[in-house]
């Protein structure tokens, strides 16, 4: 907490006050291709901008293609040589995710970095197009399925180039505030006991568990791909549109804990690009430093159960 408030750097040399540009200074990513989900606004946009600034080829995956194309043009105004593509992706639709993966593969690009950034937060109870509670469907299941669809491409890229692939899941410190059982496998769609805050925490816990289990599986295979999860910090973005008034009241009393967008994108960019993290996998990062997540997030059996549960949901959605 002291480092968070003061911005004093941690063991990595960076801290809560560090920006995405600062943590990637001097890094040449010209031989890398990255996908950033939700890259049309907020910290996703800043992540895409900084990756492009470091010369990576960036694919912005976004539900709102018009906004994504506007973001692309704004990045190019600042950086004329930026390599940016835009593809449509709606993470609450299994059909849209499959279409995105097909569209990306049709570009015949390598894939070195996948940043699972997009999400929804504190939204009222609703179901996704596939009949799954919206926060769990968008924040976790959509990224789970997307990652699985792109994994072969990442494995091939890592093997053919010898360059380590990196997958980054954006979680949140909110993963500690979930339902009593952690993940509600038997009541994922229960409306009567739905809590928008706990459902969000559940989905963010799932992001950490997904990263940990995928990391374990890739290590068993001997694949040159790391998988980590990050907490970007408290940032006022469009993600909070369902609770903007509440968040602004909270912000008044906790203003010293909040970050701006460049600071919010720092941990993502650090984990995605920094050479210090070569070979580091299955970890949770906060303020560009390793941090110990909740007990649930460290539960290997829970992670394995979530993996199987997620596969069942995806398979059921494909059949429907």
Instruction: Provide the sign of the torsion angle of the four alpha carbons 71, 47, 115, 56, taken in this order.
Output: positive
Instruction: Of 54, 4, 49, 7, give the one whose Cα is nearest residue 274.
Output: 54
DSSP letter assigned to residue 5: H
DSSP H helices in 80-125: 94-106
What pLDDT shows up at residue 240? 46
> Tokens in use for 218?
């890739």
> Virtual CA dihedral for 243, 247, 249, 254, nearest 10 degrees?
170
Per-residue pLDDT of the chain in tens (320 residues, 90 and over written 9): 445 555 689 999 999 999 999 999 999 999 999 999 999 999 999 999 999 999 999 999 999 999 999 999 999 999 999 999 999 999 999 999 999 999 999 999 999 999 999 999 999 999 999 999 999 999 999 999 999 999 999 999 999 999 999 999 999 999 999 999 999 999 999 999 999 999 999 999 999 999 999 999 999 999 999 999 999 987 754 544 444 554 454 444 344 456 899 999 999 999 999 999 999 999 999 999 999 999 999 999 999 999 999 999 999 999 87
What is the β-pairing status of strands 165-170 and 225-231? parallel
At the fourth CATH level, the homologous superfamily of domain 2-319 is NAD(P)-binding Rossmann-like Domain (3.40.50.720)
What pLDDT shows up at residue 236? 56
Instruction: Of 204, 91, 80, 205, give the one whose Cα is nearest residue 146.
Output: 91
> CA 154 to CA 239: how far, in whole Å?
28
Rg (CA), the chain: 18
What number of other Cβ atoms are within 10 A of residue 300's Cβ? 11
248 three-class SS? helix
Residues tagged active-site = 194
Every domain of the chain and the residues it spans: 2-319
108 three-class SS? coil
Q: How many helices (H) and strands (E) in the chain?
A: 12, 8
> Virtual CA dihedral for 297, 301, 303, 309, nearest 10 degrees?
-140
Helices 94-106 and 300-319, interaxial angle, to 10°? 90
What pLDDT shows up at residue 2? 47
């Amino acid at each position: 907490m002291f480092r968070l408030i003061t911005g004093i750097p941690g063991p990595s040399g960076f801290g809560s006050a560090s920006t995405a540009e600062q943590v990637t200074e001097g890094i040449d990513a010209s031989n890398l291709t990255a996908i950033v989900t939700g890259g049309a606004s907020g910290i996703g946009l800043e992540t895409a901008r900084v990756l492009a600034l470091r010369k990576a080829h960036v694919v912005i995956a976004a539900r709102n293609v018009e906004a994504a194309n506007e973001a692309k043009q704004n990045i190019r105004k600042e950086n004329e040589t930026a390599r940016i593509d835009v593809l449509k992706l709606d993470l609450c639709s299994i059909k849209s995710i499959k279409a995105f993966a097909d569209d990306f593969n049709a570009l015949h690009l390598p894939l070195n970095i996948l940043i699972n950034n997009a999400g929804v937060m504190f939204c009222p109870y609703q179901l996704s197009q596939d009949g799954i509670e919206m926060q769990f469907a968008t924040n976790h299941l959509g990224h789970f399925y997307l990652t699985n669809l792109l994994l072969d491409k990442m494995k091939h890229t890592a093997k053919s180039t010898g360059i380590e692939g990196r997958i980054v899941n954006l979680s949140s410190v909110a993963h500690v505030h979930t339902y009593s059982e952690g993940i509600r496998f038997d009541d994922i769609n229960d409306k009567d006991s739905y809590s928008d805050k706990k459902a969000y925490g559940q989905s963010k816990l799932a992001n950490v568990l997904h990263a940990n289990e995928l990391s374990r599986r890739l290590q068993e295979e001997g694949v040159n791909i790391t998988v980590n999860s990050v907490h970007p910090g408290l940032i006022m973005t469009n993600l909070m549109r369902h609770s903007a008034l509440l968040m602004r009241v909270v912000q008044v009393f906790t203003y010293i804990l909040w970050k701006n967008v460049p600071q919010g994108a720092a941990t993502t960019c650090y984990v995605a690009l920094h050479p210090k993290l070569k070979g580091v996998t299955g970890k949770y990062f906060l303020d560009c430093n390793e941090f110990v997540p909740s007990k649930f997030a460290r539960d290997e059996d829970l992670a394995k159960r979530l993996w199987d549960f997620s596969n069942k949901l995806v398979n059921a959605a494909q059949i429907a």
